[in-house]
Amino acid sequence: MKRTFIIAFIATAIIALWFFNSNSNSDEGLQQSIVHNGLSRDYIVYVPENLPNDATLVVVSHGYTSSAQTIMSYSGMNKVADKEKFLVVYPQGTKDIRGNNFFNVGYDFHASSKVDDLGFIKALVTKLIDEYELNSNHIFATGMSNGGDLSYFLACYASDMFRAVAPIAGTMMQTTVDTCKPEGAMPIFAVHGKADNVTYFDGDMANKDEWGPYPGIPAVIEHWVDLNALEYTKELDLQNAPNFNDYDEAVSFQRYISGNSDSEVWLYVHTGEHNWSLEELDTSSEIWNFFKKYIN
């Protein structure tokens, strides 16, 4: 009897600990789910202490085969949120026919997929706005690789909800470029490596890797420069940039602006590969530095 009681006590403690960890906000965030189109979709939300009313939301999306937990761990966005007091959500992709986590942005091998990630993200944002009384005009998106592609996707098809986006090592499929018609100006912050061996800087219009045809990053940026009706390029002095360390020629910066609009397009080009973090650049802090321009 005593042994049975001890086992039951331990089991109860384990369950209670699991419940606490999965339903409380810690440094790792709060794991939750929402049902969308009949699918239970997971996400992690991070709420910094003393989050103000009318706060900002930043959506941070993971890459292909990755996870919400992974990008939360390596992006360092929670640390920025602690300092700047905004809410962060990390949506979790579903598994594709290859068994890999993904967001559906139009890759050729996802042509048969019915997963509506556009609708999922919009439903998730709407839920969080209501739940945390967020400012619906201060919603931003960023992401790595497939999550970067999703950021561009949201800029095209959810411009009524998102104020600006920051794709990292991401691109736009040519089908997206052809149909991208945002309702208004859409500021873009992008970081991309010239030696990126996953999302090629020069694109893959011949579809050699079978993701689907996509243009090079210069063409993607030009697309957004044209959509935003920007007029000229301005170079930033990286030696004096607040989130930039040890200036050398490994990173270049292009800033497209206009005298008629506050919308801008920023592009950091580095010599590295398929990365979020750079030795020279505090990527998450610089993303927030860009987003802050559009909080009024």
Compute the distance between CA of residue 13 and CA of residue 4 in angstroms, rounded to an integer.
14
Helices 146-157 and 117-132: crossing angle in degrees, nearest 10, is 80
Which range, 14-18, 140-144, 253-257, 258-262, is most confident?
140-144
Mean pLDDT along residues 261-284: 92
Letter for the amino acid at 49? E
Q: Starting from the edge strand earliest in sequence, which strands make up the sheet with 87-91, in order?
A: 30-36, 39-46, 87-91, 57-61, 139-144, 164-168, 188-193, 261-270, 251-258, 232-234
Share of the chain above pLDDT 90, in %: 78
Q: How would residue 11 be classed by pLDDT, with cut points 50, 70 and 90?
A: very low
pTM of the predicted structure, to 2 decimals: 0.88
pLDDT score at 25: 44
129 alpha-carbon distance from chain centroid: 17
Residues 6 or more apart from 46 whose CB is under 8 A from it? Answer: 25, 29, 30, 72, 77, 78, 81, 87, 88, 89, 90
Compute the distance between CA of residue 41 and CA of residue 126 in angstroms, rounded to an integer.
14
Of 105 and 279, the one with more pLDDT:
105
Question: Which stretch of DSSP H or E encloses residue 9?
Answer: helix 2-23
What's the pLDDT tens digit per position in 26-74? 467 999 999 999 999 999 999 999 999 999 999 999 999 999 999 999 9
Here the tokens at position 61 are 């999306």
* E-strand stretches of 17-73: 30-36, 39-46, 57-61
Domain total for the chain?
A: 1
Quick one: DSSP state of residue 244? B
Q: How would residue 24 be classed by pLDDT, with cut points 50, 70 and 90?
A: very low
Encode 95-105: b = buried (16+ Cβ within 10 Å), e = exposed. Answer: ebeeeebbbbb
pLDDT score at 17: 39
Decide if pLDDT at 247 tops 60.
no
pLDDT score at 48: 97
Q: How many CB atoms lie within 10 A of CB 197?
A: 9
Query: For position 272, which CATH number holds?
Result: 3.40.50.1820
pLDDT score at 261: 85
Mean pLDDT along residues 141-162: 98
Share of the chain above pLDDT 70, in %: 85
Which conformational region is residue 225 in: left (phi greater than 0), alpha (psi within -120 to 50 degrees), or beta?
Answer: alpha
Quick one: DSSP state of residue 239? G
CA distances from 172 to 40, 47, 65, 200, 270 (A): 27, 31, 18, 11, 19
Range of the domain at 182: 2-294
**Do the Cβ atoms of 149 and 157 come closer than 8 Å?**
no
pLDDT score at 238: 56
What's the pLDDT tens digit per position in 86-106? 999 999 999 999 999 999 999
